[in-house]
């Protein structure tokens, strides 16, 4: 899928960049980067978009985490915390 094809699909299906980001559970900047060609579009995206077409509803998803003081949530934050816990269990602090 090319960046232009993604943008055409999004517009044809009535999604804003923000709406598509919510539907895919990713950051709006990820959608923007895919559409500008700044980041490679993953091969599985076609499957995800096909699912959204079949699903047919565009209801707003509720956030899984409450926002704290308008802070931007790092999409890798949970992974980094888990990694840090693993490292701390294997390598004790000196």
Question: Could you say which of 1.20.20.10, 1.10.3470.10, 3.10.20.90, 1.10.260.40 is the CATH number of the domain covering 3-57+74-90?
Answer: 1.10.260.40
Other beta carbons within 10 angstroms of residue 28's beta carbon come to 14
Q: Which residue has the higher pLDDT, 4 or 64?
A: 4
Report the Cα–Cα distance between both ends of the chain, in Å, rounded.
49
Query: Residue 78: what pLDDT?
Result: 64
Mean pLDDT in residue range 37-63? 77
Reported as a single tens digit per residue, the pLDDT across 52-92 is 888 765 544 444 444 454 444 455 566 566 666 766 766 66
Is this structure's pTM higher than 0.85?
no
């Amino acid at each position: 899928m090319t960046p232009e094809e993604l943008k055409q699909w999004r517009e044809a299906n009535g999604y804003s960049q923000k709406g598509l980001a919510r539907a895919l559970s990713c950051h709006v900047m990820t959608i923007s980067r895919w559409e500008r060609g700044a980041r490679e579009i993953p091969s599985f995206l076609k499957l995800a978009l096909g699912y959204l077409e079949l699903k047919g509803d565009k209801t707003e998803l509720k956030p899984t985490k409450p926002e704290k003081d308008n802070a931007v949530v790092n999409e890798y934050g949970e992974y980094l915390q888990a990694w840090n816990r693993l490292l701390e269990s294997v390598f004790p602090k000196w």
